[in-house]
Amino acid sequence: MGTLIFHGGTVILEDRLLAGARVDVDGARIAAIRTEPEAESHGQPEIDLGGGYLAPGFVDLHVHGGDGADFMDGTDAAFR
């Protein structure tokens, strides 16, 4: 699988937003984040973000309970 190029949006980083950056993805890994003017893609597939945002893989660990209980029940048993 070759490199996939994302461009035309804002990249969300841990400490800042990069408007107009380009992200090169090789397989499942970010290969490069470029802030210089867009270079030739050399025939690589491109995705235009259309002014949207690109965030790294996001996993929401937010839960309210499990194993048949819900913290929102408001009981000591559900909390335990």
**What pLDDT is recorded for position 39?**
62
Q: Give pTM, 2 decimals.
A: 0.65
**What pLDDT is recorded for position 61?**
72
**What pLDDT is recorded for position 1?**
61
**Beta carbons of 11 and 21 less than 8 angstroms apart:** yes
**What pLDDT is recorded for position 41?**
64
Mean pLDDT of each 10-residue bin along the chain, 80 residues long: 89 93 91 79 86 84 80 82
CATH match for 3-79 among 3.90.230.10, 2.40.128.280, 2.30.40.10, 3.40.50.1220: 2.30.40.10
**What pLDDT is recorded for position 7?**
94
- 19-46 CB burial, b ≥16 within 10 A, e <16: eebbbbbeeeeeeeebeeeeeeeeeeee
